[in-house]
Structure 1
Amino acid sequence: MTLLDVTIVNVALPSIEHSLSAGANELQWILAGYTLAFGLALVPAGRLGDVYGRRTLFLVGLGGFVLASAACGLVTSGVALAAVRFVQGIAAGVLNPQVIAFIQDLFSGAERGRAFGMFGATVGVSTAIGPLAGGALLAIFGEQEGWRSVFLVNVPIGLVLFPLAWRLLPRRTAPRRATARLDVVGTLLLAVGVVAVMWPFVSSEHGGSGSGSSGSGGSGSGDSTTAAASSPAWWTIAVGLAVLGVLAWWERRVQRRGGLPLLPGGLVRVPSFMFGVGVSTLYFLAFTGVWLSSTLYLQTGMGLTPLEAGLVLTPFSIAGAISATVGGRLIGRIGRPLVVIGIAVTGVALVAVDLVVRTWQGPGVVWVVCAVLTVAGLGNGLVISPNQTLTLARVPLSDAGAAAGALQTMQRIGAAVGVSANAAAFFTVLGTSGGSYPQAFSTSLTIVVSILALALVVAVVDWRRREHAHAPVL
């Protein structure tokens, strides 16, 4: 549900705009508010799950998400929808770390790899059906008010899931720590730091309206003008980094005094965790922008409808779901080289897409792009879930929630930066090239491949480190 709510809402933005008479700023925050709140909640919620039980936090997050979804479907203004979407994002951030930490708790060794593979397959399928489900719901319930069904569909799903989660998820068996209480100061410092770092990217017209334009299917040039006029407050990044530095000092202070830090200091001394976070952050920084640029290229550049563009991109997600399942079974035997292979396959496939877009302008190019992106999807499935398995393999179970939250937070920051930077480059080239969508898409792909090369270097360094240290795979 939490992933569907990103892609479905993108498709529904034009309907929301017309129904609620929402302006560009409101539409931007309907998207960005969810992303920002999601990122804020991940680490504190993961730590609360470590302390008070993952089942409890899962149920709280699920219940909050369903209630917020119902409220989203009943609002009467764009401002109200943006506000409730923020609440929905917090609930999603509470729920998500518990899933990863449950896998970490309940499985070990090769079984954990297979479980993360199934998790990755779920992510792939959710991403694939999001635009299609959104388009179908709008077709069934109409363009004017059909957007409400995009949110209200979560209510019956949640009503089925809640009793199942209540019955099937294991209750906490380990005793709570004597010092178990939330590090309030650390939580506030983390919140301020994350907001400051992400602010220019989630509030920029590049990141916000870009997604909207992809949903509307024909507003690329208009968004280009708006994007060029926006002036993100880049100075907040420096403020955020300074606050995160203070957070590091504060967390060491809490640990020295025998408290329970929000971010366990021992995580930075786990090489597999640090290298895994590095690979994940760079990969999300690179690849997330492909969704925006490819959608703009297909819809506005090639004239496809949102549903047709979704169908072209669907094989990528399905291929990723399949390879994630396979990767989950292989990671226990192959280890880091599997991730290296995945990044390399993805990068080579995107270079091929770039060559096709540069040299072929005919109508058949869409199907060639679809086929090559499917190969990229196969590589993608060998990266995210297997890397997640390796990243968390050496993390103590008592810190699994905090580690999962930290990993996902860096993924969210990477995604926000990647989408904004990619959109900025896309629209800049679109303006300077006289509206050449192939050239703008090619520039986007070049940026993505360059960052993927950095991720590949980090993965190879970790591979060599593991071999030198004779470290076990999992």
Structure 2
Amino acid sequence: MSDQLSDLDRRTRWRAFAACVAVASLTILDLSKVNVGLPSIEEALGAGPTDLQLIVAGYALAFGLVLVPAGRYGDLHSRKRMFLVGLAAFAAASLACAIAPTSLVLLVARILQGAAAGLLMPQVLGLIQQLFVGPERGRAFGLFGAIIGLSTAFGPTLGGLLIALGGPESGWTLLFWMNVPLALILLPVAAKLLPATQPKAAGAASLDPIGIVLLAIAVLGLMLPFVLTTGGPDDDPARWWLLVAFAVFGALFVLWEGRYSRRGETPVVDFSLFRIAGYRNAILIGTSYFAAMPATFLTLTLFVQQGLGLAPVFAGMITIPFALASAVSSWWSGRHVERFGRSLVVAGLVLVVVGFSANSVLAALLPPEIAPFAMSAAMLVAGIGGGAVISPNQTLMLADVPVSSGGVAGSIGQLGQRIGTAVGLAAATAAFYATVYSETGTVSELAVYHDAYRNATIVTIAFVAAALVFALLDLRSRRVRADTDVRS
């Protein structure tokens, strides 16, 4: 590994890192910036509630479906090649979104865009793990977490600015147009800077196509019922039967992977990774946390736009304090994760719970003229905590994983995050809209949206609390292992 790193000087490694993270931030921005464009898309294309839900969650669905096979291919063959293919596909799909004449075309283009993002993200994680070792890797993941946190939280603000710039009718197209020139600029930069060679695991030769298909069907069966959930009266209860497909194909996948491994082949998912406690617990934490975060930004945007009547650009600004605080906190946490370890994540999750709780209370108690400013202050507290969650958790997740498995290991973690995103968006928006549908006409419009936002926030806080429980369990197991090592 040291020989591999010696081929790239420090400056070149950090330039390659910058190209990777710039591309990753584009894919994450498209998870959140489209939220503020939904009213504009609804008006321009006549999209209904299910269409709007699919335009948001369909991206996450396709993202999740592609992650593991893309990570597998990158580990076996070339992360650089897969990165360049994914970036070109992302630019093409973004162009298709921008010129979409109907909501159906936009939905299909969004799914293709999510698939392209799924090609990219595992390569980014695998390349970061390949480029850096030791404390430098912690700093790299800290900076990665800071930029991803900024992208997630600044997405609504950027989306609001673009809509204001383009106007209510066509401003939503700028949400996608911006990706095209940026991706085209980054393509030659990445081609020049990314390493052409990488460590390979001994004996790894097959993509395990049957395993990939079984996993894809299982993931689709798990995510699709939640993606199709809007909280409206037209939700079809039959969608939950898809979970049966998840159970059946998930079981078949596990059985096939065991058989494939016993034949001496390398399966698409190395289940031995889950015997690494830090890796396993980090995935549970990340899945629960990402069930909360995108759902929080979406329901906050819905509340301040529909309930308080804020314009998209001002609605997005409420998350700016979260973005700035999480960026600073993430950078600091990445530099100190080796010292404090899982304790950083525990403290961060506690602050997120405090910030989200205060945000909901202030939204309900204060008059509409003051509430957005107070909510921003509460999001500042949550942002300090959020920055101490993402980057340390990413570093701890991959700390004991072999570099040759970095892409697929990172993609499994990302898959957990995308599944969490789909589940969280479904649960929170269902709570929000179910309240709106049930209370409209019984109380004032503002009271309806206060109750809807409160109920959605209860859901998102529950997901953060689940992440906190997993973090505490991991902290305890690490201390037990440390005590055992000292005694032995």
| TM-score, reference length from structure 2 | 0.87
Change (3 A) 1:271 1:170: same
Deviation at 1:242, TM superposition (A): 2.6
Deviation at 1:35, TM superposition (A): 1.7
Q: Which residue type is aligned with residue 416 of structure 2?
A: M
Deviates most, 438-447 or 374-383:
438-447
Deviation at 1:390, TM superposition (A): 0.6
| Aligned positions of 1:375-394 closer than 5 A | 375-394=381-400
Change (3 A) 1:303 1:175: closer
Change (3 A) 1:121 1:356: same
Change (3 A) 1:21 1:59: same
SS in 1 for 2:264: coil
Deviation at 1:155, TM superposition (A): 1.7
| TM-score, reference length from structure 1 | 0.90
Deviation at 1:243, TM superposition (A): 1.4
Distance in 1, Cα, partners of 2:369 & 2:165: 30
Per-residue CA deviations over 1:210-267 (Å, capped at 9, x if unaligned) read xxxxxxxxxxxxxxxxx13312411212320231121111111111111121101211
Correspondence 1:403 to 2:378: no
Determine the structure 1 residue equivalent to 2:219. 194
2:235 to 230, 234, 249: 230
Distance in 2, Cα, partners of 1:205 & 1:453: 24
1:454 to 455, 466, 469: 466
1:106 to 116, 119, 131: 131
Deviation at 1:177, TM superposition (A): 5.4
Correspondence 1:249 to 2:274: no
Distance in 1, Cα, partners of 2:165 & 2:358: 38
Determine the structure 2 residue equivalent to 1:442. 454
Whether the 8 Å CA contact 2:363–2:372 is kept in 1: the answer is no
Determine the structure 2 residue equivalent to 1:6. 31
Deviation at 1:352, TM superposition (A): 2.4
Deviation at 1:408, TM superposition (A): 0.7
Whether the 8 Å CA contact 1:109–1:332 is kept in 2: the answer is no
Whether the 8 Å CA contact 1:34–1:85 is kept in 2: the answer is yes
Distance in 2, Cα, partners of 1:329 & 1:387: 13
Determine the structure 2 residue equivalent to 1:279. 285
Whether the 8 Å CA contact 2:348–2:384 is kept in 1: the answer is yes
Distance in 1, Cα, partners of 2:48 & 2:361: 38
Whether the 8 Å CA contact 2:199–2:404 is kept in 1: the answer is no
Q: Which residue type is aligned with residue 132 of structure 1?
A: T
Distance in 1, Cα, partners of 2:338 & 2:119: 29
Q: Which runs of 5+ in 1 are unaligned?
A: 207-226
Distance in 2, Cα, partners of 1:15 & 1:289: 19
Whether the 8 Å CA contact 2:201–2:404 is kept in 1: the answer is no
Correspondence 1:135 to 2:160: yes
Deviates most, 267-276 or 2-11:
2-11
Distance in 2, Cα, partners of 1:259 & 1:34: 32
Deviation at 1:467, TM superposition (A): 1.3
Change (3 A) 1:120 1:302: same
Determine the structure 2 residue equivalent to 1:470. 482
Change (3 A) 1:18 1:52: same
| Aligned positions of 1:34-113 closer than 5 A | 34-113=59-138
Determine the structure 2 residue equivalent to 1:183. 208
SS in 2 for 1:382: helix
Determine the structure 2 residue equivalent to 1:316. 322
Aligned length in residues: 452
Distance in 1, Cα, partners of 2:68 & 2:184: 27
Determine the structure 2 residue equivalent to 1:341. 347
Distance in 1, Cα, partners of 2:355 & 2:46: 41
SS in 2 for 1:399: helix
Deviation at 1:149, TM superposition (A): 2.8
Determine the structure 2 residue equivalent to 1:219. none
Per-residue CA deviations over 1:1-35 (Å, capped at 9, x if unaligned) read 11222333333334434444445444443333222
SS in 1 for 2:33: helix
Distance in 2, Cα, partners of 1:470 & 1:301: 51
Change (3 A) 1:175 1:331: closer
Distance in 1, Cα, partners of 2:301 & 2:365: 19
Whether the 8 Å CA contact 1:69–1:154 is kept in 2: the answer is yes
Distance in 2, Cα, partners of 1:122 & 1:309: 21
Determine the structure 2 residue equivalent to 1:353. 359
Distance in 1, Cα, partners of 2:40 & 2:371: 30
Deviates most, 292-301 or 153-162:
292-301
Per-residue CA deviations over 1:282-319 (Å, capped at 9, x if unaligned) read 22223332222222222222221111111112211221
Deviation at 1:116, TM superposition (A): 0.9
Change (3 A) 1:422 1:137: closer
Change (3 A) 1:76 1:304: closer
Distance in 2, Cα, partners of 1:175 & 1:445: 45
Distance in 2, Cα, partners of 1:393 & 1:279: 15
Per-residue CA deviations over 1:376-423 (Å, capped at 9, x if unaligned) read 011011011111111111111121111111111111111111111112
Deviates most, 36-45 or 132-141:
132-141
CA RMSD of aligned residues (A): 2.1
Determine the structure 2 residue equivalent to 1:209. none
| Aligned positions of 1:161-176 closer than 5 A | 161-174=186-199
Q: Which residue type is aligned with residue 284 of structure 1?
A: F
Determine the structure 2 residue equivalent to 1:211. none
Whether the 8 Å CA contact 2:36–2:316 is kept in 1: the answer is no
Determine the structure 1 residue equivalent to 2:8. none
SS in 1 for 2:268: coil
Whether the 8 Å CA contact 1:29–1:82 is kept in 2: the answer is yes
Correspondence 1:122 to 2:147: yes
Distance in 1, Cα, partners of 2:234 & 2:51: 17
Deviates most, 27-36 or 271-280:
27-36
Q: Which runs of 5+ in 2 are unaligned?
A: 1-25
Q: Which residue type is aligned with residue 292 of structure 2?
A: A
| Aligned positions of 1:357-372 closer than 5 A | 357-361=363-367, 363-372=369-378
Distance in 2, Cα, partners of 1:348 & 1:8: 25
Whether the 8 Å CA contact 2:207–2:268 is kept in 1: the answer is yes
Distance in 2, Cα, partners of 1:20 & 1:364: 34
